[in-house]
Amino acid sequence: MSQYDVVVMGGGHNGLVAAAYMAKAGKKVIVLERKPHYGGGVSTRELIQPGFWHDEHSNVHIMIQGNPMLREDELGLLGKFGLEYIYPELPHASIWDDGTMVRSWRDLDRTCEEIAGFSPKDAEAYRKFATASMAALPMFMSGLYAPPFPMGAFVAMMDQSDEGRFLLDVMQRSALDVVNQYFESDLLRLHIVRMVTENLQMPDELGTGMGAFLMPGIIHAYGCSMPRGGSGQLSHSLVRAIEHFGGEVRCNAEVRRVIVAGGKATGLELVDGETFMAKDGVIGAIHPHVLRKFVAETPEPVLQRAERVTQSTFSINLTHLTLKERLRLKVGNETNAMMTELMDFYTMRDMLLEYDKLRRGEVSERLIAGGDNTIFDPSRAPEGAGVFYGVNFAPYDLWPGGPGSWDHRKEEIADKALAQYRKFYANLDDANITGRLIRSPLDHERDSPASFLKGDIHGCAPFFYQSAGHRPTPDLGSLRVPQIEGLYLVGPFMHPGGGVFGAGRATAIQMMDDLDIEFDKVCAGAV
């Protein structure tokens, strides 16, 4: 039996963030990770051949750019622990198979100038839209990295001003509704909506409109980036910070259960029986669907509501390739963006029909995105070689055959996506591909069975009823588990949502508040 102040279940980036803040606060902290390596969905590894570094899940870091953890370097990740971000001038581009392009540059004027080439009216509309989006960012973003407001208080607060009522209205609409209201060109609508669906959101699902409104503002205010050396460099810098502050990270340590005594979380027990006791509390990356498995002492009504949490409508079939030489876009590599959407449909109706297939358990090879990560970061592969990261939207419950059929169908489905990619890349032929690894929605679930349930790498659906203090449920939205004192939650299924947010900061704030530790003083302290 080992004694600590804080014990953390799960070495994904959110758990690491929470652990780093608690360690900086002077607490004796240990992180226990089931897998042989830490990072969870934010890891970069040599998956196919030595010297080729692939992002296992997350590839582009967008939402974390507004986090004070980075903006003010609260943990020293940028200044002391080796984290460096690459910010291209072209964060987002859509490319069609006939060579048509819509590009969102960091520079708003340049973006509007290009939009004017196919729709002068939309160029002006986009300028107003993006300007309003950037103006709303400070108010909206400030709530993303701290414990969420209770839903009732959040709605009441938003209802006190015209700006708040506008945002509340947008949050309950669909992304499709938002772009249809503001723009006339299907090219611009497609460009924005396809980017929003990267969050595993259907274009016409209610409660997804905020993505359509905020993403242009984020693109122009913060840009779109990836860590030099791969997404996993964020996790490496967090582990350096934890160790610098006296904490530990231990891999190959699978947790069986949270130890609960007298209604309080007092530690973690591993599958081999080893125990790690926590004086101040436990932080767990525990999906609501498996809360019963790890914390059976949770009140039954809380567990039942947790098990009704809605997963995202679709997942991804992910293609990793090693390449002899860097990829070349047929339209020219000056159109390579950090986020590159590839399309052969030109109307919203055509695109929506493809998304409808996902609802019916079918895969559409036309719903793809991705590119060669070495275009921006040559360190990811041997000189001149490439590393391809390709996303094909796909359902978890594949038809016919169900989720289990992914094991024998994922290669065939990836072949169809590869044929689609070849419409856009000049040298993505067999002679240039030296290795391939396919990760299906079922593989994602196996990789992280306490977080990526049903292949949902964003934890759970980002609908309005699963947002703010109701994410993932009203019971769990405070980042704590009712009637289990000292148990705190982290993960993509918690506020503010899936993706790379550095959201463990909110959990650390809540835990420090409960322990009467002043978070601002901790952040102001020396690194």
pLDDT at 1: 81
Round the average pLDDT of the chain to a whole number and report it.
96
Per-residue pLDDT for 426 more than 90?
yes
**What is residue 272's DSSP assignment?**
T
pLDDT at 483: 97
pLDDT at 527: 84
Q: What is the pLDDT of residues 4-38, one digit of tens each?
A: 999 999 999 999 999 999 999 999 999 999 999 99
The gap between the terminal CA atoms of the chain, to the nearest Å, is 30
pLDDT at 82: 97
Question: Torsion angle of alpha carbons 359, 364, 367, 369, nearest 10°?
Answer: 120
pLDDT at 249: 98
Q: What is the pLDDT of residues 146-173, one digit of tens each?
A: 999 899 998 998 899 998 899 899 999 9
Q: What is the pLDDT of residues 263-291, one digit of tens each?
A: 999 999 999 999 999 999 999 999 999 99
What phi and psi, each to the nearest 5 degrees, are found at residue 46? -85, 85
pLDDT at 266: 98
Burial class (CB in 10 A: 0-12, 13-18, 19+), 360: exposed
Per-residue pLDDT for 430 more than 90?
yes
pLDDT at 331: 96
Per-residue pLDDT for 74 more than 90?
yes
Q: What is the pLDDT of residues 115-145, one digit of tens each?
A: 999 999 999 999 999 999 999 998 888 889 9
- pLDDT band per the 50, 70, 90 thresholds, residue 521: very high
Paired strand residues for 370? 390
Per-residue pLDDT for 55 more than 90?
yes
- The secondary structure element, H or E, covering residue 120 is helix 120-141
Percentage of the chain modeled with pLDDT above 70: 100
Averaged pLDDT, 77-96: 97
Closest CA to 281 of 53, 47, 36, 29: 29
- pLDDT band per the 50, 70, 90 thresholds, residue 75: very high
Q: What is the pLDDT of residues 204-255, one digit of tens each?
A: 998 889 999 999 999 999 989 999 999 999 999 999 999 999 999 999 999 9
Closest CA to 393 of 244, 118, 168, 197: 197
Rounded CA separation 436/434 (Å): 7
- pLDDT band per the 50, 70, 90 thresholds, residue 381: very high
pLDDT at 87: 95
Q: What is the pLDDT of residues 337-347, one digit of tens each?
A: 999 999 999 99
pLDDT at 140: 81
pLDDT at 139: 81
Per-residue pLDDT for 400 more than 90?
yes
Per-residue pLDDT for 525 more than 90?
no
